[in-house]
Amino acid sequence: MPAKVISAAVQPFPLVDLKAQYRTIKLDVDAAIQRVMESQHFILGPEVNNFEKEIAAYCGSQFALACASGSDALLLALMALEVGSGDEVVTTPFTFVATAGAIARLGARPVFVDIDLETYNLDPEKVGPAITSRTKAIIPVHLFGMSADMTAIIKTARDCGVAVVEDAAQAIGAVFEGTPVGSIGLCGCFSFFPSKNLGAAGDGGMLTTNDEAFADKLRLLHLHGGRTKYEYELIGMNSRLDALQAAILRVKLRHLNSWTAGRQEKARRYMQLFADRRLDGILGLPQVQSGCNHVYNQFVIRAPRRNELKAFLGDHGVPSEIYYPQPLHLQKAFTYLGYKPGDCPQSERASQEVLALPVFPEMTDDQQNLVVDSIASFYRAC
């Protein structure tokens, strides 16, 4: 039996401590909610318009359109590209299901391209060979908070005349060679799911683009395809961000840079602690690629005997999660595509080895020491 970790002082804590975050901004958030309640203006309106402008500025894009979720942002982007039956969209199988779900829901075919194991992002070398005459778009995912290697992806897309839709749900604030994610391709899709770096009090999403015609089409599509009430140019949907969410998110956006810096500081400290305990030779630690920063929506390691480690950590009061336990090409929902084990070996290996450790700006040194000490005692015991 591995030795018990001495951790008497650390109370149980979650992977992301949203209550700790709320305590730091409670007055402003509560005032924002109050402001919307007094106005009784819940749909669209100034909170949403202002938030769109603020996100556009933050992401360095000309246009931004708020919608109901990150999943809807992906769907709206593909709808605006008129992706449908007979089309293919190239993406990664090592992502949240929504990325490929948006493609499949429109009747198009997700074409899965394997990842680079060190970055967990699309292997840019493998994207070109996956393009066919039916390819309409490429969706790189900036997984865990670091941009995909966009140089080759953008070049391939240009050469082949296909669009790039960035799934930036986990990466608000990340940059690639100086350009913020979401303004590198034709458009960017963001999520404000509570556990994202900029999290709402519920669901929310955003699209960013520098293409005015595309922005206009997105705006039509998210409001039933109508420019004015009861006149419809396109078949759209109802996907809006609530004014209440916009008001809360506007408060939080003002803190995003300092929260990101806090996440990066925790990541640096993890790296130092792992090196001090000589765990850097055992664990696969996050690699920040040149030209990139990392905003650490997740701090993900690759660990030998991952499942045993996860159970051991749980027994010692250390939360952890597996993102993602099964790559999408092997999920039941996508069996009709005909993929089999071995088709995306790096994604399959990642799904066996990855473990996300707690990382959030309010995390204390004691909490972080407990995580690292527990991992050290697990490997010392074997």
Q: Which residues bind ligand PLP (CB under 6 A)?
A: 69-71, 95-96, 98-99, 141, 167, 169-170, 191, 193, 203, 205
Question: Which residues are paired to 300 by β-bridges?
Answer: 356
Please report where in the chains the tokens 């996956």 appear, as a residue: 130
Q: Which is nearer to ligand PLP, 204 or 361 (CB)?
A: 204
Smallest distance, ligand PLP to C-beta of residue 18, A: 15
Phi-psi region of 64 (alpha: psi -120 to 50; beta: other; left: phi over 0): beta
* Residue keyed to tokens 């009747």: 107
Closer to ligand PLP at the Cβ: 300 or 376? 300
The Cα–Cα gap between 79 and 345 comes to 31
CB closer to ligand PLP, 17 vs 203: 203
* Smallest separation (angstroms) from ligand PLP to the CB of 349: 19
Q: Cβ 241 to ligand PLP, closest distance in Å?
A: 11
Closest CB to ligand PLP: residue number: 70
Pick the closer one to ligand PLP by CB: 10 or 143: 143
- Residue 107 beta carbon to ligand PLP: minimum distance, rounded to whole angstroms: 20
Letter for the amino acid at 267? A
Give the number of other CB atoms < 10 A from CB of residue 120. Answer: 27
Nearer to ligand PLP, 58 or 324 (CB): 324
What's the min distance (Å) between Cβ of 144 and ligand PLP? 9
In b/e form, how buried is each residue of 29-55, taking b as 16+ CB within 10 angstroms?
beebeeebeeeeeeeeeebbeebbebb
Q: What H or E segment, with its residue span, contains residue 63?
A: strand 63-67
State CA 291 to chain mean position distance: 19
Shortest gap between Cβ of 203 and ligand PLP (angstroms)? 6
Which residue lies nearer to ligand PLP by CB, 170 or 264?
170
What single-letter DSSP state applies at residue 369? H
Rounded-to-integer distance, Cα 44 and Cα 104, Å: 29
